[in-house]
Amino acid sequence: MLPIVARMNVGIYKGAAAMAAYEHWQEAIAQNLAAAPVNGYRRTQTSFNGIVGDLMKLKDGNSKVQKEVKGVMPATSNTLSTVPGSMAYTGIETNFAIEGDAFFRVRKPDNTVGYTRNGNFRQNAERELVTQDGNIVEGENGVIKFRQEGGAILLNSEGRLIQGELQIAKLPVYAFEKPAEMRRIGDGLLAPAEGDRPRVPGKSPVLHMVLEGSNVAPLQEMVNMVTVGRAYEMARKVVEVQDDVVGKAIQGLGAPLA
């Protein structure tokens, strides 16, 4: 009877693993919905894989492996969608968007470097180009600082910022081999996958006075939320049923012989 009970436990393990996987998917959906209004946000997409695991090794009286019970346990992995968001003209001189798969580089006060597609920038009190959170937007040679006397800001085809008749700085962007594997590091910033080095595209793909929206489709995310909720409930019921069967089997084993 022990092998039978063990096989029942496998069903419980699989159901519990499925519930954990659905919880991870639900977290990704909630994050996508919350960030849907954020310019340049790239949605988290969740995929499911099966991993074969040795759930249990049954041994005989001599502690030798007699049989292996294997099962395919569901597991999730998250990547970033590389589908671009929609572009919209704003007319604001410190707004920028990127055509193609590249990113602006940003430096935080703690000297942490991150990457973003959110080009909704502004000037701070020192006339430096910064994000809405106040993080420095890095130019080719560091900080981009505008003229005290002001003047119209233009961006030429080479990605160089011009104010009045003077060239201020170059606004570079950086591309990666594995953009879908970038990870979030807070403040809406991304870090590249391990070992993935930034490269500068040959031609500047930056658009001026334009912003890219997020690539989240809220209606589809709501459909996904309903789907994951139903799937979670099904997995929970499987665990409950299996647990009930195991309990009854154990009670039967412990009952006295007639």
Mean pLDDT, the chain, integer: 84
Q: What is the pLDDT of residues 76-86, one digit of tens each?
A: 789 999 999 99
For the cut 60, the answer to whether the pLDDT of residue 26 exceeds it is: yes
The share of the chain scoring above pLDDT 70, in percent, equals 78
Residue type, 77: S
Q: In this predicted structure, what is the pLDDT of residue 166?
A: 92
Q: What is the pLDDT of residues 136-154, one digit of tens each?
A: 999 999 999 999 888 999 9
Q: In whole angstroms, what is the distance from residue 231 CA to residue 73 CA? A: 15
The encoded tokens of residue 211 equal 């912003």
Residue 72, pLDDT score: 59
DSSP string computed for 41-94: ---EEEEEEEEEEEEEEEE-TTS-EEEEEEEEEEEEEEEE--PPPPEEE---TT
More confident residue, 221 or 246: 221
The proportion of the chain whose per-residue pLDDT surpasses 90, expressed as a percent, equals: 58
Question: Is residue 208 over pLDDT 90?
Answer: yes
pLDDT band at 55 (very low <50, low <70, confident <90, very high): very low
Residue 62 has pLDDT above 70, yes or no: no
DSSP 227-242: HHHHHHHHHHHHHHHH
Residue 77 tokens read as 């992995």
* Amino acid 1: pLDDT: 44
Output 255 or 217, whichever has higher pLDDT.
217
Residue 251, pLDDT score: 66
pLDDT bin (cut points 50, 70, 90) of residue 174 is: very high
Is residue 60's pLDDT more than 90? no
Tokens of 148: 């005290």
Has this prediction a pTM greater than 0.85? Answer: no
pLDDT computed for residue 102 by the predictor: 95
Average pLDDT over residues 93-122: 96
Domain ranges of the chain: 2-82+217-254, 87-212
212 by DSSP, 3-state: which? strand
Neighbouring CB atoms inside 10 A of 87's CB total: 13
pLDDT at residue 241 above 80? no
